[in-house]
Structure 1
Amino acid sequence: MKILLVEPGKEPALKEIDGSLKSMQEIVGGTIQAIYLFEESVALICNDEGKLLGLPLNRGLRDEEGRIYDIVAGTFFLCGAPEDSDSFGSLTDGAMQAFKQRFAVPELFLNIDGTLVCLLST
């Protein structure tokens, strides 16, 4: 299964995994949570308890205006989520490129006087 791996502080990378629950849990470092945020048939798979465990903040999730409404903590990956199946699959080449670009720049999050600030790293 071809996935796009997104680690804190790093550029996204193409990775192949066997698609087992164990392989997915190893990537995110614990129990998985699938989030369906996109119009495309794509799932974002992250650690279900990433924020509670204090995993490093990784990437912001943005609304249509580009405002951050949530932040994914810890390593996550994107994979295909076929509509006619209850399992995950490979990302299409088009989705791979689109999401690689969308999450290309690592982000750094700072808490300044109770306000969360996002800096893009280079």
Structure 2
Amino acid sequence: MRVLVVEPECRPEVKEIDDSLSAMQEIVGGYIQAVHLDDLDDSVVLVCNEEGKFMNLPANRGLRDKNGQMYDIVCGTFFLCGVPPDSDHFTGLTPEQIERYRERFYTPEMFWGMDGHIVCLPLEVD
């Protein structure tokens, strides 16, 4: 299935992976967790390492609500894939979904704690 893989400090990359739990776990480096992105398409989920924060994986991208306010940070490599309604299986992304999410997660981000707040800055990469 065709997914969009997002690694820390890198631009998103389209990859073909097997539709298997082991292939998904290999990408995220452990147990998987599917996260619905509230402000975006309900037929797409972000799949990350369930224990990424506890494992001190590197901060990757901020998740934002429809107003652009950051509500969480994904740690470690994650990927985006399709999730049809009323199904317990993931599917590949459509070309339109790939472009939408490639644009959304295109710029890598860096995070700092400052005065009790988290500051997020874009990271320029080649």
TM-score, normalized by length of structure 1? 0.96
Partner amino acid, structure 2, of 1:117: V
CA distances 1:17-37 after superposition (whole Å, capped 9, x unpaired): 011100000000000001112
Q: 2:52 aligns with which of 18, 27, 50?
A: 50
Alignment of 1:29-68 (within 5 A): 29-37=29-37, 38-68=40-70
CA positional deviation for 1:39: 2.7
Q: Who is 1:117 aligned against?
A: 119
Q: Give the number of equivalent residue pairs.
A: 122
RMSD, aligned α-carbons:
0.9
Q: Does structure 1 retain, via aligned residues, the 8 Å contact 2:36–2:42?
A: no
Uncovered stretches (5+) of structure 1, i.e. residues with no partner = none
% identical equivalent positions = 56
Displacement over 2 Å in runs of 4+ = none
CA positional deviation for 1:40: 3.6
CA positional deviation for 1:6: 0.3
Alignment of 1:10-89 (within 5 A): 10-37=10-37, 38-89=40-91
Partner Cα separation in structure 2 for residue 19 and residue 113 of structure 1: 44
Q: Who is 2:107 aligned against?
A: 105
Partner Cα separation in structure 2 for residue 65 and residue 84 of structure 1: 28
